[in-house]
Protein backbone atom coordinates (compact mmCIF):
# COMPACT_ATOMS: atom_id res chain seq x y z
CA UNK A 1 0.00 0.00 0.00
CA UNK A 2 1.17 3.49 -0.83
CA UNK A 3 1.87 5.78 2.11
CA UNK A 4 -1.10 8.19 2.37
CA UNK A 5 -0.91 11.87 3.24
CA UNK A 6 -3.75 11.69 5.78
CA UNK A 7 -4.25 9.58 8.91
CA UNK A 8 -7.03 9.44 11.48
CA UNK A 9 -6.72 7.79 14.89
CA UNK A 10 -9.90 7.01 16.83
CA UNK A 11 -9.18 5.85 20.38
CA UNK A 12 -10.51 7.02 23.74
CA UNK A 13 -6.97 6.73 25.18
CA UNK A 14 -5.19 10.07 24.71
CA UNK A 15 -1.81 8.49 25.46
CA UNK A 16 -2.23 5.93 22.71
CA UNK A 17 -3.28 8.68 20.31
CA UNK A 18 -0.05 10.57 21.01
CA UNK A 19 2.01 7.41 20.46
CA UNK A 20 0.24 6.95 17.11
CA UNK A 21 0.88 10.57 16.17
CA UNK A 22 4.63 10.25 16.83
CA UNK A 23 4.98 6.90 15.04
CA UNK A 24 3.08 8.21 12.02
CA UNK A 25 5.21 11.37 11.98
CA UNK A 26 8.37 9.25 12.01
CA UNK A 27 7.24 7.31 8.91
CA UNK A 28 5.26 10.03 7.11
CA UNK A 29 6.48 13.41 8.39
CA UNK A 30 4.42 15.44 5.90
CA UNK A 31 1.15 13.61 6.62
CA UNK A 32 -1.85 15.20 8.27
CA UNK A 33 -2.87 13.37 11.46
CA UNK A 34 -6.30 13.81 13.05
CA UNK A 35 -6.72 12.41 16.57
CA UNK A 36 -10.14 11.67 18.09
CA UNK A 37 -11.01 10.40 21.56
CA UNK A 38 -14.73 10.63 20.70
CA UNK A 39 -15.76 8.26 17.88
CA UNK A 40 -18.91 10.25 17.15
CA UNK A 41 -16.82 13.38 16.55
CA UNK A 42 -14.58 11.36 14.24
CA UNK A 43 -17.59 10.23 12.20
CA UNK A 44 -18.82 13.83 11.96
CA UNK A 45 -15.36 14.97 10.84
CA UNK A 46 -15.11 12.19 8.23
CA UNK A 47 -18.48 13.10 6.72
CA UNK A 48 -17.70 16.85 6.69
CA UNK A 49 -14.24 16.24 5.24
CA UNK A 50 -15.72 14.11 2.46
CA UNK A 51 -18.39 16.70 1.67
CA UNK A 52 -15.73 19.43 1.37
CA UNK A 53 -12.96 17.52 -0.44
CA UNK A 54 -11.55 18.93 -3.63
CA UNK A 55 -9.57 15.76 -4.43
CA UNK A 56 -9.66 12.03 -3.72
CA UNK A 57 -7.30 11.86 -0.77
CA UNK A 58 -6.51 8.35 0.49
CA UNK A 59 -6.74 8.11 4.27
CA UNK A 60 -5.66 5.49 6.77
CA UNK A 61 -7.84 5.20 9.87
CA UNK A 62 -6.59 3.41 12.98
CA UNK A 63 -9.59 2.36 15.08
CA UNK A 64 -9.77 1.04 18.63
CA UNK A 65 -12.46 -1.52 19.46
CA UNK A 66 -13.13 -1.03 23.16
CA UNK A 67 -14.41 2.50 23.72
CA UNK A 68 -17.28 3.79 25.86
CA UNK A 69 -20.48 5.15 24.30
CA UNK A 70 -19.64 3.97 20.74
CA UNK A 71 -17.29 1.00 20.33
CA UNK A 72 -15.26 0.22 17.21
CA UNK A 73 -17.87 -2.17 15.80
CA UNK A 74 -20.63 0.43 16.21
CA UNK A 75 -18.31 2.99 14.59
CA UNK A 76 -17.95 0.66 11.60
CA UNK A 77 -21.72 0.23 11.43
CA UNK A 78 -22.13 4.01 11.19
CA UNK A 79 -19.26 4.27 8.70
CA UNK A 80 -21.00 1.65 6.53
CA UNK A 81 -23.95 4.00 6.10
CA UNK A 82 -21.74 6.62 4.41
CA UNK A 83 -21.59 6.88 0.58
CA UNK A 84 -19.59 4.17 -1.18
CA UNK A 85 -17.36 6.86 -2.71
CA UNK A 86 -16.23 7.75 0.79
CA UNK A 87 -15.54 4.09 1.65
CA UNK A 88 -13.15 3.85 -1.28
CA UNK A 89 -10.99 6.62 0.18
CA UNK A 90 -10.46 4.93 3.55
CA UNK A 91 -8.24 2.06 4.63
CA UNK A 92 -9.31 1.08 8.13
CA UNK A 93 -7.08 -0.88 10.48
CA UNK A 94 -8.16 -2.06 13.91
CA UNK A 95 -5.55 -1.09 16.50
CA UNK A 96 -6.55 -2.74 19.76
CA UNK A 97 -5.35 -4.20 23.02
CA UNK A 98 -8.13 -6.81 22.88
CA UNK A 99 -6.95 -10.38 23.43
CA UNK A 100 -10.29 -11.83 22.32
CA UNK A 101 -9.63 -14.02 19.24
CA UNK A 102 -13.21 -13.29 18.15
CA UNK A 103 -12.32 -9.63 17.66
CA UNK A 104 -9.49 -10.48 15.28
CA UNK A 105 -11.71 -12.92 13.39
CA UNK A 106 -14.53 -10.36 13.16
CA UNK A 107 -12.06 -7.73 11.89
CA UNK A 108 -10.73 -10.09 9.22
CA UNK A 109 -14.27 -10.67 7.94
CA UNK A 110 -15.40 -7.04 8.03
CA UNK A 111 -15.61 -5.53 4.52
CA UNK A 112 -14.20 -2.15 5.59
CA UNK A 113 -11.31 -3.43 7.72
CA UNK A 114 -7.93 -3.96 6.05
CA UNK A 115 -6.15 -5.47 9.03
CA UNK A 116 -5.93 -6.02 12.78
CA UNK A 117 -2.89 -4.93 14.80
CA UNK A 118 -2.07 -4.87 18.50
CA UNK A 119 -1.46 -1.65 20.40
CA UNK A 120 0.69 0.29 20.58
CA UNK A 121 1.30 1.32 16.99
CA UNK A 122 4.94 0.78 16.11
CA UNK A 123 7.28 1.51 13.24
CA UNK A 124 7.31 -2.24 12.56
CA UNK A 125 3.51 -2.28 12.19
CA UNK A 126 3.67 0.73 9.89
CA UNK A 127 6.38 -1.04 7.86
CA UNK A 128 4.17 -4.12 7.49
CA UNK A 129 1.20 -2.04 6.35
CA UNK A 130 3.15 0.11 3.90
CA UNK A 131 5.80 -2.42 2.83
CA UNK A 132 8.64 -0.14 3.87
pTM listed for this prediction: 0.94
pLDDT tens digits, 52-83: 877 778 999 999 999 998 999 999 999 999 99
Domain assignment present for residue 1? The answer is no
Mean of pLDDT values over 86-108: 93
Domain assignment present for residue 9? The answer is no
H or E segment at 115?
Answer: strand 113-118
Domain assignment present for residue 7? The answer is no
Domain assignment present for residue 4? The answer is no
Domain CATH code at residue 68 = 3.40.50.2300
Residue 99 has pLDDT above 90, yes or no: no
Domain assignment present for residue 8? The answer is no
Domain assignment present for residue 68? The answer is yes
- Distance (Å, rounded) from C-alpha 112 to C-alpha 114? 7
Which position has the higher pLDDT, 1 or 93?
93
Q: Domain tally for the chain?
A: 1
Mean of pLDDT values over 20-46: 96
Domain that holds residue 18: 14-130
Burial class (CB in 10 A: 0-12, 13-18, 19+), 114: middle
Domain assignment present for residue 62? The answer is yes
Predicted pLDDT of residue 48? 93
Residue 1 has pLDDT above 90, yes or no: no
Amino acid sequence: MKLPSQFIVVDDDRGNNLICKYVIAAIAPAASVQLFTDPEKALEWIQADYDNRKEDLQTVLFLDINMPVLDGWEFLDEFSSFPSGLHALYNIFILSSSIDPGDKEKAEKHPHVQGYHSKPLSKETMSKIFNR
